[in-house]
Amino acid sequence: MAKTVSGPSRPNPKALAQAIAQYRQPSRLRSIFELVITLGAFVLLWVAMWASLHVGYWLTLLLAVPAAGFLVRVFLIQHDCGHGAFFRRHAINAWVGRVLGVVTLTPFDVWQRAHALHHATTGNLDRRGVGDIDILTVREYRARSWLGRLAYRTYRHPAVMFGVGPTFLFVLKQRLPFGMMREGWRPWISALATNAAIAGVVAGMMALVGPGHFLMIHMPVMVLAASMGVWLFYVQHQFEDTLWARSSGWTLQEAALYGSSHYDLPRVLRWFTANIGMHHIHHLCSRIPYYRLPQVLRDRPELNDVGRITLGQSFGTVRLTLWDETRQRLISFREARTA
């Protein structure tokens, strides 16, 4: 269960959003350093995996774990670029994000639009559906047919949510922006240009190391990284004391601070995940670069216990599948049967 703060000590979201805005300015040198270290380590690990094929595939798979960690970090740099937080100039953020999108299989302009909608509507029960993990209220779930309930239970099953689902999302679903048919030509240009670049890189790598070796190296890394990324996104908003409300009682800052978790990870995991666990701060002011989020937490200790979840506690969130509007918390299917 996430640790919550109540009473007079409960931080005021609007006041905090204004106070932490001073941390928004990125450092060009720090951003370049983070980019070079992350991409450089990913490339070196990929080369090491290629070399390890001559030793044994067990070693290749072992190296896939840190390689996937760095690929997640590449995605989180792309994420900051999408918020205009990694560099001061919009054009640099956009083009770095587009190039990184070839590595992460994520069309930058398509993802940026969907993620902006997620930030603008997080916690709003009347505006679900874009950039979110699907969630039903208890009432909506009960109103479904048995087939509709089965479909939702299948979607929320860990094997789908963190297994086949992430791979489907990154490898197939993001190839075409079908959810943005009314957004004009930009999403299609972004998706098709990214697809063309991916095809060129994959063809080049296959020519260099061979099709079989390329798949043996890159597929485990991609599958692991996709699952890690979806897990992080899941924990950020799917915890017991998160916040969901109808539009009439919803405010952006309240949902940002109290609907997002503080995923308090061990230091090494915090580094690999680019401090994205400090998600309540990120949602409150998304223009803060990820390497400045710990400074906000140090200067604002009242934020430490807001939505705090440890690594051990986070595994219990998997059973939380439905929003109970009466009790104002996430509950499990079993709890819904007795509610």
Q: What pLDDT does residue 3 have?
A: 47
Q: How confident is the model at residue 183 (pLDDT cuts 50, 70, 90)?
A: confident
38-69 confidence digits (pLDDT tens): 999 999 999 999 999 999 999 999 999 999 99
Q: What pLDDT does residue 239 have?
A: 93
pTM: 0.93
Domain locations along the chain: 7-338
Indicate the angle between helix axes 186-209 and 211-237, nearest 10 degrees. 140
pLDDT at 32 over 90: yes
pLDDT at 73 over 60: yes
| Residues 69, 38: Cα–Cα separation, whole Å | 10
**What's the gap between Cα 112 and its chain centre?**
12
Q: DSSP states of 2-28 as a string?
A: -B---GGGSPPHHHHHHHGGGG-PPPH
Q: What residue type is assigned to position 263 of the chain? A: Y
214-238 confidence digits (pLDDT tens): 999 999 999 999 999 999 999 999 9
133-143 confidence digits (pLDDT tens): 999 999 999 99
